[in-house]
A and B are shown apart, each in its own frame.
Chain A
Amino acid sequence: EVQLLESGGGLVQPGGSLRLSCAASGFTFKDYAMGWVRQAPGKGLEWVSTISVSADSTYYADSVKGRFTLSRDNSKKTLSLQMNSLRPEDTALYYCAKDMESGYTKSDFNYWGRGTLVIVSS
């Protein structure tokens, strides 16, 4: 059974940093692109970032480019999102998600975690 377990969320002041992690199990992690999607309270989905299987390519939404860094450790089956210079508008539930097709970076996410909540407030 595919499982994605996010951690690292919490309350942080504007300008601060957080590091989100996603522990994956139940599939061959190194064969799938992975990504993060966020959802502000009561709002819609927003794509944040995607990383290719070998981590040679990473993609970011304009809203987070230059502030967030996505990485993966295929040996530990872990995805990490380093978030710096956080803003109140970054407040959201952050979902870790797995791409559907092995080897391809398409951001067609067929498995999602339950999310970790990030609150940016003073």
Chain B
Amino acid sequence: QSALTQPPSVSGSPGQSVTISCTGTSSDVGRYDRVSWYQQPPGTAPKLILYDVSDRPSGVPDRFSGSKSGNTASLTISGLQAEDEADYYCSSYSSSVTWVFGGGTRLTVL
């Protein structure tokens, strides 16, 4: 159950788009369309923003989108806003009937 690989940090200016990658293996991200993404502002509990690679729970803006290619999933945030500044985590179901998180990415809005 190795953690999925995410870049430690990304940044962007308001209005821009940023993409956060999440790399796993053929046993998790590459095998199942069961990737989810969470947003965690400092000092708060995580919030689910995407599930099943690209589906959004109700209430999540369509500025947040997801995709997957091979063993890598991606979260794209378009029209970046100051309130998007947070830590972002990916998660995937794996063939060992477990779930694994990525190491997290700190998004800084410049």
Contact = CB atoms under 8 A, between A and B. Distances in A.
User: A and B bound?
Assistant: yes
Nearest to B47: A112
Contact of B57 (A37, A45, A110, A113): A110
Given A44-B101, A110-B57, 4 more contacts: A62-B1, A106-B34, A107-B91, A109-B38
Contact of B101 (A45, A62, A100): A45
Contacts of A100: 48, 51, 57
- Interface size on A, as a range, is 20 to 34
Given A95-B45, A107-B93, A59 B51 contact: no
Contact of A61 (B38, B46, B87, B98): B98
Interface string A99-122: 010000011111011110000000
A21 interface: no
Given A61-B1, A112-B46, A45 B89 contact: yes
Contacts of A113: 45
B3 A44 contact: yes
Interface of A: 37, 44-47, 50, 59-63, 95, 100, 106-110, 112-115
Nearest to B35: A108
Which 8 A-B residue pairings sit nearest by Cβ, starting from the closest?
A: A112-B45, A44-B104, A108-B51, A47-B99, A45-B101, A107-B99, A110-B48, A44-B103
B97 interface: yes
A69 to B, nearest CB: 16
Contacts of A115: 45
